[in-house]
Amino acid sequence: MTETDLLVIGGGITGQSAALFAAQAGARVTIVDAQRNAGSHANAGSLHVQMQSRFLRLNPHLADNLESSLPLYLSAVTAWEALDTRLGGVELTREGGLMLAEDEAQLDFLRQKAERETRKGLDVEILDRDELFSLAPWLGEAIAGAELCRNEGKLNPLVANRKMRGALGSLGVEHVHDRITRIEEGSPPTAEGEGATYSAGAILVAAAWGAEALAKPLGLTIGTPPEPLHMNITEAGDYRIRHLVQHAERPITLKQFRSGQVVIGGGWDANLASAESRAPTIRRQSLLGNVALASRIAPGIAGLRVLRTWAGYNTPVDGKATIGPVRNGSRVFLALPGDAGYTLGPITGQAAAALSLGTDPPIDPAPYSPARWRS
């Protein structure tokens, strides 16, 4: 029986952020992770704030959830900025995000969206063609305008993950490779793994698509099916694309790392992994469609070749974070970002960790209570 103050289930950015927060507050922390297909390890580093058109299109019934979460997105970027400083630089930039429109109807959609986002405190503006091209001269001819969200940015997740691991190590956070199969809400709560049973002052579930199976026996019915998403990366070019780029109607994110490589993604689907030991596999439709779309938006990238594709799991849940104890007074806590897990991971993890320690969380957790999942 391993004993610790806080047992974090899941070693992605959410669990790591929770662990970092708790360890800095003096807690003894253990992260237990199954080490299979963590979304954070496949992430491409977008810092999303404005409502993603793709999510709205696929999940019109969850639009209110997403809109009501916008303040959390703003806090998430602040949390990432603090983390950037704490970790000694993760190539984070806050040069804003562009959502492109190709016609008047798309611009109208963006105008309405911008109004709703302004009401939630986002720093957004609609740019006409001339204003847009002075900011982003590498854009393709067909682009008619864009919504600029100044809160958005990007970072290099490879650097962030490596430095996060280093920071946790120097705080004495223990990493255990195991798969947790069941959680008991005793006093103290325990987690049963394939290799051992773990007992802790509190247990924090940051297991993304693995959360559903752990929450069910605790009386919470949360659907966390993984969404396998496709990504592409090119050779390096001169650093010109400063914004995080999306489209009002087509699924795409496009950005350039400081290394010069262009990362193209944005929600094209991949195949679920065929076996636990394997990664999700890619679909040729996604490779062709996603990259062709990117080269129409940014013709300058056509001189770079695509080096690699990969796929990783997003866990959209209901488009809204789940943060807090599984029931009032429970020592088992949930930390699920609910879409855009890498952007929301730090704030979600920190808030859940604060609740588990009994300290004030950095955001009001009430809207994100797990109570909505109690059947």
Tokens of 368: 């994100």
**194 near other proteins, judged by CB under 8 A:** no
Whose Cβ is closer to other proteins: residue 80's or residue 310's?
310
- x-or-dash pattern for other proteins, window 123-152, by CB under 8 A? ---------------x--------------
CB of 156 to other proteins, least distance (A): 11
Stretch that binds other proteins, among 50-58, 199-207, 218-226, 299-307 (CB under 8 A): 299-307
Tokens of 36: 């299979």
What's the rounded Cα separation, in Å, for the pair 318 and 306? 33
**89 near other proteins, judged by CB under 8 A:** no
What's the rounded Cα separation, in Å, for the pair 30 and 326? 20
Q: Name which of residues 25 to 44 contact other proteins (CB under 8 A).
A: 35, 41
Query: Which member of 90, 214, 301, 317 binds other proteins (CB under 8 A)?
Result: 301
Query: Which member of 64, 115, 128, 235 binds other proteins (CB under 8 A)?
Result: 235
Q: What is the identity of the amino acid at 84?
A: D
**362 near other proteins, judged by CB under 8 A:** no
**308 near other proteins, judged by CB under 8 A:** yes
Task: Give the total of residues touching other proteins (CB under 8 A).
Answer: 49
Q: CB 153: neighbour CB atoms within 10 A?
A: 26
Q: CB 225: neighbour CB atoms within 10 A?
A: 12
Whose Cβ is closer to other proteins: residue 260's or residue 362's?
260
**307 near other proteins, judged by CB under 8 A:** yes
CB of 271 to other proteins, least distance (A): 9
State how far Cα 362 lies from the chain centre.
18
Q: Name which of residues 260 to 279 contact other proteins (CB under 8 A).
A: 260, 274, 277-279
Q: What is the identity of the amino acid at 145?
A: G
Tokens of 374: 């109690």
Tokens of 240: 């010109």
Stretch that binds other proteins, among 119-127, 158-166, 184-192, 194-202 (CB under 8 A): 158-166
Longest CA–CA separation in the chain, Å: 65
What DSSP element (H or E) covers 304? Answer: none
Q: CB 17: neighbour CB atoms within 10 A?
A: 28
Burial status of residue 351 (CB atoms within 10 A of its CB: 0-12, 13-18, 19 or more): buried
Gyration radius of the chain's alpha carbons: 20
CB of 293 to other proteins, least distance (A): 9
Rounded alpha-carbon distances, angstroms, from residue 331 to 25, 224, 324, 325:
18, 22, 10, 7
What's the rounded Cα separation, in Å, for the pair 217 and 367? 23
Stretch that binds other proteins, among 58-66, 75-83, 147-155, 301-309 (CB under 8 A): 301-309
**328 near other proteins, judged by CB under 8 A:** no
Stretch that binds other proteins, among 154-162, 182-190, 322-330, 353-361 (CB under 8 A): 154-162
**320 near other proteins, judged by CB under 8 A:** no
**374 near other proteins, judged by CB under 8 A:** no
Q: Name which of residues 164 to 193 contact other proteins (CB under 8 A).
A: 165-166, 169, 177
Phi, psi of 7 (to 5 degrees): -105, 120
What's the rounded Cα separation, in Å, for the pair 17 and 19? 5
**282 near other proteins, judged by CB under 8 A:** yes
Q: Which residues bind other proteins (CB under 8 A)?
A: 35, 41, 138, 158, 161-162, 165-166, 169, 177, 234-241, 259-260, 274, 277-279, 282-285, 287-289, 291-292, 294-296, 298-310
